[in-house]
Amino acid sequence: MSRSRTLWELIARRAALTPDAPVLIEAADDPAADRTLTFGALRDRAERVAAGLHDQGVRPGTVVAWQLPTRIETVLLSAALARLGAVQSPVIPFYRDREVAFALRSSEAEYFAVPGTWRGFDHTAMAARLGARGVFEAYADADLPDGDPAVLPPPPADGTAVRWIYWTSGTTSDPKGVLHTDRSLIAGGSCLAHALRLTPSDVGSMAFPYAHIAGPDYTVMLLLYGFPAVLFEKFAMPDALDGYRRHGVTIAGGSTAFYSMFLTEQRKDPAMPLLPSLRLLAGGGAPKPPEIYHAVVRELGCQLTHGYGMTEVPMITMGSPDDTPENLATTEGRPPEGMSIRVTTPDGTPLPAGTDGEVRLRGEAVCQGYLNQKDATGVFDSDGYLITGDLGHLTPSGHLVLTGRSKDVIIRKGENISAKEIEDLLHQLSGVGDVAVIGLPDEARGERVCAVVEQPPGAAPLTLPQVTAYLRAQGLSPYKLPEQLELVDALPRNDALRKVLKYRLRERYS
């Protein structure tokens, strides 16, 4: 566990130890346009950005939302806000009007940093539509505010104050604001780093949205062990491979979908190692079939460690490179020191090893609750354990095996998708009598989104393009769009309350 109380203290300590070592390497399409930032430059530039923000009125406790891609400037802005002790509300850059409006309104954000027009979408125009306050662009270094660090107040000293609001769709239509402290994020990142057995000679990679809870997880690892990460603003295969190769990435990963993409590329030329420097694939966020583990080890020639985390608890368990192949293939790894896992009956009675039940958690990496305390109703038990909604059991060796989810949530490429949010929108579409949205196993995505629609008599058959076009028009984020549509005469229901039996649909269409 890190001794640092705050994220800024961790940044300053690492900068003092290895100021000239690289921390961030931005991989561009043109290798000549690659950029590198050192630990010392991260500290110094972030202080100047913090001073510029201070000149504009940002103070300790000021809520600043940012919706930015995975770039050096994003990390700089986040570090500057950490230096000020502001409250950060990171928003995934793929979110659109519905989710962004909810996040801005709920957090009462006083400032909102956007990338301008990014990947064909005008975020500045969206901010104007939503009436966001304090909008500024922060895509390029020249966009970032600059000032004299002499104006800054002392760095924050309390690592237990809530300074982070992360957003997760969970099982409700509206996102939930998850409250984190510097200490909870440091706890998650330091435990992850320890489990992976990292060294200063490693080269990591961030091919996921930095606004995801994995962003600070990974940053803490870099700061603790003093190694760099290659940033990919746009991750697509096979184009990204050149960036991995020319910077000698030793650790890659993401969710199960990433493992499948690497395997697909390797299979194009099995005799040629895809990434000769790669020693470890590591990730989580979606179920991992055992055959994926064995295929990675066999075909990519590297180790695969998979873990279990969520927005509320960024690091719960993680496989370690020195685990047995059986445990790496069939479990989510073990919890770190300080993370207590209980498997219980629904009433909270602890169950013995090997018995399936509800997975409950308590530890320093667990969030402080939710922005809207109504979201916390029934989430923490009387002993302070977080009720995850996941089902599983602990093995005699202490490894966790997940066997299902009690939450009605779909995990696609590591991102939570609320089935209810999509269902609520589709109920308003002409030609829909009733609808059930489910997640189906998908090797590339972890799960794919499937809408099963019961149409009223005489309605013209709906098509998938019609459904997705309607949802886009309603402002639903593209990553939540159904990829499969099934039309049925009647949804399966129980006899008591006529509740739709989604498990039957999953059995039918899996």
CATH (residue range 409-509): 3.30.300.30
Q: What is the pLDDT of residue 3?
A: 63
Q: What is the mean pLDDT of residues 39-46?
A: 98
Question: Which of 376-385, 391-400, 489-498 bottoms out in mean pLDDT, i.e. has the lowest?
Answer: 489-498
Q: What is the pLDDT of residue 498?
A: 65
Q: Where are the domains of the chain?
A: 409-509
Model confidence over 327-355: pLDDT tens digits?
999 999 999 988 999 999 999 999 999 99
List the one residue out of 217, 254, 215 whose CA is nearest residue 235: 254
Rounded to an integer, what distance in angstroms lies between the CA atom of residue 116 and that of residue 123?
5
Q: What percent of the chain has pLDDT over 90?
A: 81
pLDDT band for position 407 (cuts 50, 70, 90): low
Rounded to an integer, what distance in angstroms lies between the CA atom of residue 198 and that of residue 214?
17
Q: What is the mean pLDDT of residues 67-87?
A: 98
CB 121 within 8 A of CB 246: no
List the one residue out of 32, 84, 66 whose CA is nearest residue 137: 66
CB 46 within 8 A of CB 114: no
Rounded to an integer, what distance in angstroms lies between the CA atom of residue 494 and that of residue 254?
38
CB 221 within 8 A of CB 203: no
Model confidence over 9-29: pLDDT tens digits?
999 999 999 999 999 999 998
Rounded to an integer, what distance in angstroms lies between the CA atom of residue 144 and that of residue 139?
8
Q: What percent of the chain has pLDDT over 70?
A: 96
Question: Which residues touch 322 (CB under 8 Å, ≥6 apart)?
Answer: 197
Start-to-end Cα distance in the chain: 42
- Classify 17 as helix, strand or coil: helix
pLDDT band for position 409 (cuts 50, 70, 90): confident
Q: What is the pLDDT of residue 343?
A: 97
Q: What is the pLDDT of residue 495?
A: 47
Instruction: Write down the mean pLDDT value for the chain.
Output: 93
Given a cut of 80, is residue 391 above it in pLDDT?
A: yes
Model confidence over 105-159: pLDDT tens digits?
999 999 999 999 999 999 999 999 999 999 999 999 999 999 999 999 999 999 9
Q: What is the mean pLDDT of residues 265-282?
A: 96
Rounded to an integer, what distance in angstroms lies between the CA atom of residue 449 and that of residue 435?
13
Model confidence over 415-466: pLDDT tens digits?
888 888 898 899 889 999 889 999 999 988 899 999 999 998 899 999 999 9
Q: Which two tokens stand for residue 455?
A: 């149409």
Given a cut of 70, is residue 172 above it in pLDDT?
A: no
CB 166 within 8 A of CB 90: yes
Q: What is the mean pLDDT of residues 224-234?
A: 96
Question: Which residues touch 244 (CB under 8 Å, ≥6 apart)?
Answer: 205, 230, 252, 275, 278
Rounded to an integer, what distance in angstroms lies between the CA atom of residue 398 and that of residue 392?
12
Q: What is the pLDDT of residue 168?
A: 86
List the one residue out of 456, 502, 451 whose CA is nearest residue 480: 451
Question: Which residues touch 291 (CB under 8 Å, ≥6 apart)?
Answer: none
Q: Which two tokens stand for residue 260?
A: 């499948």
Question: Residue 171 CB: number of other CB atoms within 10 A?
Answer: 17
Q: What is the pLDDT of residue 496?
A: 45
List the one residue out of 406, 315, 318 whose CA is nearest residue 358: 406
